[in-house]
């Protein structure tokens, strides 16, 4: 049956490990997998802006032997003039997979329900699962086995990155800690899902309002912008709330001596992270950005191998 990747827990713990292992192999041997040879086309839609996701999918699809068709959704009929369901049915006649950055998670679900080709979430308001594959790959390069390691995310606990850290981290068997203001805590149902997964994998989940408690002894410290795409109107109110949740040298000192710092980028120095951290010795954000390429190639190859027909 065709598989989709709409949220991090669409991959089981064993499947996530398989994709990460394949990503490591593809990083070492860039053209080892050519499932799109033909070439076949992958449609990539953007309802929001992007640098890394756009480039990494374009390059990755070409590396797999295929052709990327990158479309800003405003240039297509999708959404405004044509339903998601009709778009899904048209696309499956021509492309091998659909990658979509959008607002509502429900749109991705509708696309996946209406098509026979794999659909990949390239960021929604709720999750950023492709980014998490890259983040876990980056942590794995440093620490090897991820099971039992502690992953701390501080900042906006209610955004797509926080939710993906919860699900993907728990799937990897990590101890996931979210440090966020009470009004920006992660969604309760996602915390519950992460806890349920952690029970199977040996991981755990902690949600706290203390950034220091979250970071204490952590092997991975991560953060993200305080103002996600689509939240620009709330900027002033958000900057006022998140002041105590910036990652600085003091917070990094709470973490393990060998801790790494992750940020999905784009980053706002002086807000969610100080330059001394993101440009300092613990930061692996450039490896993390590069790993988008390797992780997504592995994901696409894995999904295409399981496609109907
Ligand atoms: N991290 C990330 O998704 O970056 P872009 O918005 O540039 O794609
Ligand atoms: N939370 C951020 C991630 C950007 C890659 C946003 O949605 O804008």
The CATH number of the domain holding residue 200 is: 3.40.50.1370
Could you list the residue range(s) of the whole structural domain that residue 70 is in? 13-128+292-305
Q: Using an 8 Å Cβ cutoff, are 44 and 122 in contact? A: yes
The residue among 294, 307, 292, 242 whose CA lies nearest residue 268 is 242
Same domain, yes or no, for 115 and 216?
Answer: no
- Local confidence band at 145 (pLDDT 50, 70, 90 cut-offs): very high
With a pLDDT cut of 70, the percent of the chain lying above it is 100
Say what the pLDDT of residue 307 is: 85
pLDDT tens, residue by residue, 203-250: 999 999 999 999 999 999 999 999 999 999 999 999 999 999 999 999
Please state whether beta strands 41-46 and 67-72 pair in parallel, antiparallel, or not at all (unpaired).
Answer: parallel
Does 95 fall in a domain?
yes
Same domain flag for 201 and 179: yes
pLDDT tens-place string over residues 162-211: 999 999 999 999 999 999 999 999 999 999 999 999 999 999 999 999 99
Claim to verify: residue 236 and residue 96 sit in the same structural domain: no
Give 1 Cα–ligand 1 centroid separation in angstroms. 30
Cβ neighbours of residue 142 closer than 8 Å, sequence gap 6 or more: 258, 260, 284
Identify which of 54, 180, 228 to mutate to test ligand 2's pocket (most ligand atoms within 8 A of the CB).
228
Q: Indicate whether 124 and 17 sit together in one domain.
A: yes
Q: Is 244 a catalytic residue?
A: no
Q: Is 1 inside any structural domain?
A: no
The Cα-based distances of 256 to 38, 69, 304 in angstroms read 48, 43, 39
Q: How far apart are CA 143 and CA 132, in angstroms?
A: 16
Q: Can you tell me whether residue 97 is helix, strand or coil?
A: strand
Residue 142 CB-density burial (10 A; 0-12 exposed, 13-18 middle, 19+ buried): middle
**Closest protein CA for atom 3 of ligand 1:** 53
Is 128 a catalytic site residue? Answer: yes
121 & 139 share domain: no
Q: Residue 305 above 90 pLDDT?
A: yes
Residue 6 inside a domain? The answer is no
Question: What total of structural domains would you count in the chain?
Answer: 2
101 lies in the same domain as 217: no
DSSP-based three-state secondary structure for 2: coil
Can you list the pairs that 17-23 forms with residues at least 24 positions away whose Cβ atoms lie under 8 Å?
A: 17/172, 18/302, 19/133, 19/295, 19/298, 19/299, 19/302, 20/133, 20/136, 20/137, 20/140, 20/295, 20/298, 22/298, 22/301, 22/302, 23/133, 23/137, 23/291, 23/294, 23/295, 23/297, 23/298, 23/299
Band the pLDDT of 70: cuts 50, 70, 90: very high
* Spatial strand order in the sheet of 220-223: 204-208, 175-179, 150-154, 220-223, 260-263
Residue 7, domain member (yes or no): no
Predicted confidence band at 9 (pLDDT cuts at 50, 70, 90)?
very high
pLDDT of amino acid 73: 82
- Residue 15 and residue 254: Cα distance in Å, rounded? 33
CB neighbours of residue 216 within 10 Å: 17
The question of whether 224 is a catalytic residue gets the answer yes
Q: Kindly name the residue from 125, 292, 294, 296 that is annotated as catalytic.
A: 292
217 with 124, same domain?
no
In a domain, 30, yes or no: yes
Annotated binding site for carbamoyl phosphate: 50-53, 77, 101, 128-131, 264-265, 292
Mean pLDDT of the chain: 97
Q: In this model, does residue 309 exceed pLDDT 70?
A: no
Cβ of 52 below 6 Å from ligand 1: yes
157 and 115 both lie in a single domain: no
Q: How many helices (H) and strands (E) does the chain have?
A: 12, 9
28 with 77, same domain: the answer is yes
Same domain, 147 and 98: no
CA distance 88 to 84: 6
Cα of 199 from ligand 1 centre, angstroms: 31
Rounded CA gap, 104 and 107, in Å?
5
266/166 same-domain check:
yes
Cβ neighbour number for residue 67 with a 10 Å cutoff? 15
Residues with a CB atom less than 6 Å from ligand 2: 123, 128, 159-161, 224-225, 228-229, 264
| Burial of residue 22, with CB atoms counted within 10 A of its CB: 0-12 exposed, 13-18 middle, 19 or more buried | buried
Is residue 74 very low, low, confident or very high in pLDDT (cuts 50, 70, 90)? confident
How far, in Å, from the CA of 53 to the mean position of ligand 1?
5
Is 2 a member of any domain? Answer: no
pTM to 2 decimals? 0.98
Regarding whether 98 and 215 lie in a shared domain, the answer is: no
| Torsion angles phi and psi, residue 179, rounded to 5 | -110, 110
């Amino acid at each position: 049956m065709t598989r989709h990747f709409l949220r991090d827990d669409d991959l089981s713990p064993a499947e996530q490990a398989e994709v990460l292992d394949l990503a490591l192999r593809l990083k070492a041997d860039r053209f080892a997998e050519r499932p799109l040879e033909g070439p076949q086309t992958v449609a990539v839609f953007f309802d929001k802006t992007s640098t890394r996701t756009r480039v990494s999918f374009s390059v990755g699809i070409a590396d797999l032997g295929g052709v990327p068709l990158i479309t800003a959704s405003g240039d297509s009929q999708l959404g405004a003039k044509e339903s998601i369901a009709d778009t899904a049915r048209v696309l499956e006649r021509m492309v091998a997979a659909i990658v979509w950055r959008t607002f509502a998670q429900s749109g991705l679900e509708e696309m996946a329900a209406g098509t026979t080709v794999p659909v990949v979430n390239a960021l929604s308001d709720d999750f950023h699962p492709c980014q998490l594959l890259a983040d876990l790959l980056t942590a794995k390069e440093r620490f090897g086995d991820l099971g039992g390691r502690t992953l701390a995310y501080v900042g906006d606990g209610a955004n797509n990155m926080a939710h993906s850290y919860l699900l993907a981290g728990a799937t990897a068997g990590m101890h996931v800690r979210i440090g966020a203001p009470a009004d920006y805590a992660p969604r309760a149902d996602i915390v519950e899902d992460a806890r349920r997964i952690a029970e199977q994998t040996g991981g755990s989940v902690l949600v706290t309002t203390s950034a220091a408690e979250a970071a204490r002894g952590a092997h991975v410290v991560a953060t993200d912008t305080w103002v996600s795409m689509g939240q620009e109107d709330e900027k002033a109110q958000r900057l006022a709330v998140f002041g105590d949740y910036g990652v600085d040298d003091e917070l990094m000192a709470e973490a393990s001596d060998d801790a790494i710092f992750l940020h999905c980028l784009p980053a706002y120095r002086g807000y969610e992270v100080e330059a001394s951290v993101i440009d300092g010795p613990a930061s692996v954000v450039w490896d993390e950005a590069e790993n988008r390429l390797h992780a997504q190639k592995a994901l696409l190859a894995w999904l295409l191998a399981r496609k109907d027909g």
